[in-house]
Amino acid sequence: MKSIIFKNIFIQNFLSIGNEPLEIDFSSGLNVISGINKDEDNISNAAGKSSIIDAFYFAIFGSTMRDLSKLSFVVNRKNGKNCVVRLNFDIKDGSGLCSYLIERKLAPQGVKIWKNGSELTKSTTAETNKYIEELISADKDIFQNCILMRANNVTPFMAKKKQEKKNFIENIFKLDVFSSMSKFLKEDIREIKGQYNVEQNTLNFYNKNLEEYNKEMERLLHLQEEEAAVKQEEIINLNKKIKEEHDRKIDILAKYNKAKNEISIDTSDAEAIIKACDNTLKQLNSIKSKFTVDIAVLNRDFDKLKNSENICPTCKREYPADYLQEIEIKKTNIVDQINDLTIKLEAISGKIAEIENKKSSAVSTVNDINKLKTDFLLIQKEVEQCDNVITLYQEQLDKKLVKRDFSGVENFKNLIKTTEESIVGVKRKVDFLEKDLAKMNICEHILGEYGVRAYIVNQLLELFNGRIMHYLHKIKSTFNFRFNEVFEEEIKDSNGIICQYYNCSGAEMKKIDLAISFAINDMLSLQKQVNYNVLFFDEILDSSLDDKSLNIILNFISEYTAKENKAVYIISHKSGAQIPHINEVITIEKVNGFTKRVYEN
């Protein structure tokens, strides 16, 4: 598991924040960001609270969640320069703990990143942005739906199009392995199609020759019957054809000699590596699958123990202390087993990636060499074609130059017989390759949209739907919600009546959005093995919810925050006194067009 621990942020000349920096040290617990706009009669709107989320997002991705036509509009309008955002964070994984700093600037523009004090900035901004996204194992969609949840400027997950939801969930489910497998399969199909095309071209050539031989034999028989003699013209035409074929053969031989020097490399070593890699991958993937299943089973057992009551449902008496103590010991043992299996799973995954890279390199080598060999075979066929045609024309010419007779009929009979035998052999190869292609197409279907991928999606959807229902229960929603195998939502109210997302009340839509966001966070940790310590809720609790529902959700968020050791920041028009279990209240105010943080004395 990789943990991304955001520590603090420094913001200067960003949107309404001016030369006076606004700094926040991210603190575990439930925190509130409130503000007052003294330029607008002390209202809470437009104080600059959401600028903190935009700055956080900007530091990572180099853009904002606002619909701005130009990035230059991010720079504070009054000062017009020296926009700076710095984000400090740690990454903890199997290799230890490392500290990172991202610094982004506008007017002048630039981005830099440091690891443990050493600069790792890439040669271009695009490369640096890509490095940062890979470093934190996330993209813009994940952050907008899981980490930085806003009421404005961001489309809620349920409001996205069906294909967008499908792509996002499959990304969380980490199904990109099927894309890799499909890629290798397509390469195999392309190679077999290349061989098929060579043999099919050869078959077409023989069929064409056979057709020409039959026509020529019929022509000679007709000449024999008619005893027509246009000998001189035929001699001229045959000489012309022989010369054309000789000229064509000279051009082809030049390509033949060049290709001959390029196919001397032996593929046996690379093929041996591929076979060894396949055997190793099969073993490692089997081990990985077992670890994954074991972890899932342990997590289910843990949840059962965690959710068990202290009172016997039959006799309504509290369980004995030694029984409860035994339950706690079992839970501790399960956690230890999960941690041990997770470490082993990460090690196996790393080894799989290493073997796959090694295999990919060997496959590339074999493909390159085989392509050269295929090209060489085509050139050989062309040379043979020239020789066959030249031989045919020469035989005809020889007959024209001697005393006229029609013994050539027998020669064509022999050529027809030989060609028909060749056609049988080549047709056998074509049929064999067609069967191989049919098998490949079946495999392609299995790895496609409705094959094994669909089966795995269904299994993961059960887990995903379970987490959604878990959080809906936590925030006291009476709705039953699930995604089906084609990522369409199925919603039932407390009476079991089917309804649509947009038919729900604003409060219920809000609860569904929140439950899905927390469920996505769980899947992110489980599938992508990454955990983020910071969550932002920007004004999503300021509308649609009555006081009772709001308190239920806030109590849940507080419980979730403590359990997961998160630094949760609620940006709200409500004061800190209206929100329970507050760790810290960050107050900002806007005066004379500038936003700054106000510290209590």
Write out pLDDT tens, residues 401-440.
Answer: 665 555 667 787 888 888 888 888 888 888 888 888 887 7
**How confident is residue 363, by pLDDT bands cut at 50, 70 and 90?**
confident
- What pLDDT is recorded for position 540? 67
CB crowding 241-274: b at 16 or more within 10 Å, else e: bbeebeebbeebeeeeeebeeebeeebeebeebb
In the chain the first and final C-alpha atoms are separated, in Å, by: 41
Bridge partners of residue 30, in order along the sequence: 568, 582
- Structure-model confidence comparison of residues 66 and 339, the more confident one: 339
Q: Which residue has the higher pLDDT, 9 or 322?
A: 9
The yes-or-no verdict on residue 133 having pLDDT over 80 is yes
Residue 325 has a pLDDT of: 84
pLDDT at 313: 67
What pTM was computed for the model? 0.55
Task: Tell me the Ramachandran region of residue 308: left when phi exceeds 0, alpha when psi lies from -120 to 50, beta otherwise.
Answer: beta
Q: What is the mean pLDDT of residues 538-553?
A: 75
Count of CB atoms situated within 10 Å of the CB of 473 = 12
- Tell whether the model's pLDDT for residue 576 goes beyond 60: no
Measured on CA atoms in the order 388, 389, 394, 396, is the torsion positive or negative? positive
State residue 561's pLDDT score. Answer: 86
Residue type, 387: D
Kindly report which listed range (116-125, 250-259, 529-538, 554-563) carries the lowest average pLDDT score.
Answer: 250-259
- Each residue of 433-458: pLDDT tens digit? 888 888 777 777 666 666 666 667 77
Query: What pLDDT is recorded for position 70?
Result: 80
pLDDT at 305: 77
Radius of gyration of the chain, Cα coordinates, nearest whole angstrom? 36
**Cis peptide before 313, with omega less than 30 degrees from 0?**
no
Are the C-beta atoms of residues 47 and 33 closer than 8 Å to each other? no
Give yes or no for residue 593 having a pLDDT over 90.
no
- 213: nearest Cα among 418, 20, 507: 418
Confidence grade of residue 153 (pLDDT, cut at 50, 70, 90): very low
In this predicted structure, the answer to whether residue 230 has a pLDDT above a threshold of 60 is no
The pLDDT mean for the chain works out to 81
What is the spatial distance between Cα 73 and Cα 130, in angstroms, rounded to a whole number?
23
Higher pLDDT, 459 or 499: 499
pLDDT of residue 69: 66
What pLDDT score was predicted for residue 55?
Answer: 93
| Long-range CB contacts for residues 452-459, cutoff 8 Å, separation at least 24 | 452/178, 453/175, 453/178, 454/485, 456/173, 456/175, 457/170, 457/173, 457/175, 457/485, 458/485
Which of 164-173, 347-356, 553-562 has the weakest average pLDDT? 164-173
Does residue 112 register a pLDDT over 90?
yes
pLDDT the model gives residue 266: 66
Average pLDDT for 257-269: 68
Which are the contacts of 405, defined by CB distance < 8 A and separation ≥ 6?
Answer: 399
Strands 118-119 and 110-115: antiparallel
Q: What is the pLDDT of residue 557?
A: 84
Residue 264 has pLDDT above 50, yes or no: yes
The structure tokens listed for 111 are 């981005």
Residue 535 has pLDDT above 50, yes or no: yes
3-state secondary structure of 48: coil
Q: How confident is the model at residue 91 (pLDDT cuts 50, 70, 90)?
A: very high
Name all contacts of 589-593 with Cβ < 8 Å and 24+ positions apart: 589/35, 589/36, 589/37, 589/38, 589/47, 590/16, 590/35, 590/36, 590/37, 590/38, 590/39, 590/46, 590/47, 590/48, 591/38, 591/39, 592/39, 593/16, 593/18, 593/39, 593/77, 593/78
Place of tokens 């590339």: 364
3-state secondary structure of 122: coil
What kind and span of H or E run contains 555?
Answer: helix 547-564
pLDDT at 103: 96
pLDDT of residue 399: 73
3-state class of 96 per DSSP?
strand
